[in-house]
Amino acid sequence: MQPYAQEFRRYKRMLEEAVAQLDDEALFTRLGPGENAVADLWKHLSGNLRSRFTNFLSEDGEKPWREREAEFDASGASRSELEHAWREAWAIVEREALALGEADRTRRVTIRGVGFSVEEALARSLAHLAYHVGQIVLLGRHLKGPAWRFLTIPPGQSARYNQNPDKERG
């Protein structure tokens, strides 16, 4: 299960490096009506991960206490509250999912009443995480402008990067 753990942690780090570049105004900026701010997406990911991985092997991943719709409105929250929710969610992910072994790969879990193997559930969650982290990075880059520090290979740096592809190791 190590490849899943490595990728989850890579996207965790990418999100954290993206939000660290944004001041509070940018963090809560919506580009238009009905759009999500970086803070909204961050709050949603924390809620999603907390729900999916709390008692991962024994309870449905969509918890009755989860308020998904409210996750997309971080107005009224502070950066420190968002950071706290993120740390709590990741502690659960580390304990419940990323510590699983190869023998757990085919165990069954449920999400919204639908059965999945552990591997399928991890792949789904990783894809969801990557999708929203990509949105966060795009929004962050737009909001920060030329001062944005690239989290992957900067434009024009592919050949140089390929000489020492350290970011591929997660």
Residue-wise burial string across 5-27, b where 16 or more C-beta atoms lie within 10 A, e elsewhere: bebbebbbebbeebbebbeeebb
Average pLDDT over residues 43-60: 98
CATH class given for the domain over 2-169: mainly alpha
Question: At 110, is the secondary structure helix, strand, or coil?
Answer: strand
Tell me the pLDDT tens digit for each residue of 67-83: 999 999 999 999 999 99
- Res 1: pLDDT: 84
Tell me the pLDDT tens digit for each residue of 75-130: 999 999 999 999 999 999 999 999 999 999 999 999 999 999 999 999 999 999 99
Percent of the chain with pLDDT over 90: 89
Residues β-bridged to residue 108: 117
